[in-house]
Amino acid sequence: MQRLKAVVKQEVQGLNGDEAVALAVKQCDVDVIAAYPITPQTIIVEKLSEYVANGEVDTEYICTESEHSAMAACLAASATGARVFTATASAGLALMHEMLFVTSGCRAPVVMAIANRALSAPLNIHGDHSDAMAERDSSWIQIYCENAQEVYDSIIQGFRIAEHLDVQLPVAVGLDGFTLSHTLENVMTLPDEVVNTFVGTRQFPVVLTHEGKTVPYKLDPASPMTMGPVALPNYYFEFKRQQEEAMKDALKVIPEIHDEYAQVSGRRYGSGLLEPYALEDAEVAIVCLGSTAGTVKTVVDELRAQGTKVGLLRIRTYRPFPAETLVKALVNVKAVAVLERSMSFGGGGGAVFHEIRNALYDEKTHPFIVDYIHGLGGRDTNPAQIKGVYEDLKKIVNAKHVEDLVRFLGIRE
């Protein structure tokens, strides 16, 4: 995170990641929340319930009987014109799977916090990215945060991104289970009215109805619209292509909104898509997502102090995947280690690894790339292991060869 001069006075509050989500939601004038409790997201819905009970928010709060119903209710409320929020994790997100595609397909700008957690079995309540990575093709924008501050900032930006007329796609903001969701940090918070002004009221794209009228895209008895129809092979494909175009537009919109927010808050996370750290002259680099970046930065500082040219590229926005800027950031590095907290079983490495290798394919020269699966089920990744990765990268540079393409960090062999 880069700190600029903020234009407004901010209050420092001690918040864990979940509380930071809830506070941001409170300040965004959300109309409907529909959610179901699941660890490690529960503090979010508890805190929101407290705001509702104390009249601190003007929000309809639906405690649904499952995450599937939570997402269905969110989608329906959003279709009716409401600004909508939900939160989930792990099995809850997996249960939503069907509805995630319907929500993005209906172009409902729902914002969701995911307290990233491992998937069963065995049952595990701790952090990794398996849950959200399994939904990477669901046409949701995915942002992964490094700390509670970024969680707060990203939820606020999330509503602007989702509701942007060129985007109209749902946004998921990921915070690593327990590492971020339950860890108390200092969070700079904006005054309510500043957030309110930044987020504004929900805008609607104008669409042509079957009656030939141009109306806002929502369920309104004054201008009846059929939403979520059947589309056969003659039309379905175009709907999907439009979602892809919206994702491309989001690549432009996310940095714009990120910049605008930085003007107000004084906080910047790289471009909003990628956050490079000591990368300009780096010979070897780690690419990672989420809270792991905090540990990597500490190690980078330490190694840099010893004169080693190491760097980090944190992927903040994973969907849409910022391939073009990622290539520019990495093309001159000699070796790259991708650290990821999920697996694509049988796929030869994780999804992030695959996508980075794919992005670099057309370059004349490109770095050696190695994949490290780490931190599954909340397994700690410590500075010593990160140092080990940088040492491995140096070996790869010297050997001009990658021995094992996919490795496991911090595992009992």
Partner 1 sequence: MSAISEGKFTTKDIVEKPELFLSGHRACAGCAPATVLRLIMKATRGPTIVTEATGCMEVASTIYPYTSWAAPWLHTAFETAGSNASGIEAALKILRKKGRIKDEKVDVIAFAGDGGTYDIGIQALSGAVERGHDFLFVLYDNEAYMNTGIQRSGGTPYGASTTTSQAGKILPGKLEQKKPIGDIMVAHDMPYVATAAPYYWKDLITKTRKGIEVDGPAFLHVFAPCPRGWRSDPSKSIELSRLAVETCVFPLWEAVNGEYQLSTPSKVIALAPQKKKPVREYLQAQGRFRHLFTPQNEKIIDEIQKITDTKWQKLLKKCGFPQQKPTA
- Interacting residue ranges for partner 1, rule: CB under 8 A: 31-32, 34, 58-60, 62-66, 68-70, 72-82, 84, 98-99, 102, 106, 201, 210, 219-232, 235
Q: Quick one: 34 or 148, whose CB is closer to partner 1?
A: 34
- Please state the closest distance from residue 380 (CB atom) to partner 1, in A: 38
- Side-chain-side CA neighbours of residue 15 (13 Å): 23
Q: Which amino acid is at 71?
A: M
Q: Quick one: 230 or 384, whose CB is closer to partner 1?
A: 230
- Nearest-angstrom CA–CA distance, 188 and 317: 22
Q: Quick one: 135 or 392, whose CB is closer to partner 1?
A: 135
Q: Quick one: 56 or 58, whose CB is closer to partner 1?
A: 58
- Please state the closest distance from residue 84 (CB atom) to partner 1, in A: 8
- Please state the closest distance from residue 193 (CB atom) to partner 1, in A: 17
Q: Quick one: 3 or 236, whose CB is closer to partner 1?
A: 236
- Nearest-angstrom CA–CA distance, 185 and 143: 20
- Please state the closest distance from residue 164 (CB atom) to partner 1, in A: 19
Beta strands per DSSP E along 18-153: 32-35, 60-63, 84-88, 111-116, 141-144
Q: Quick one: 220 or 380, whose CB is closer to partner 1?
A: 220
- Please state the closest distance from residue 110 (CB atom) to partner 1, in A: 10
Residues 6+ apart with CB under 8 A from 362: none
- Nearest-angstrom CA–CA distance, 54 and 309: 53
**Omega within 30 of 0 (cis) for the link into 255:** no
- Please state the closest distance from residue 377 (CB atom) to partner 1, in A: 29
- Nearest-angstrom CA–CA distance, 77 and 125: 30
- Nearest-angstrom CA–CA distance, 115 and 174: 6
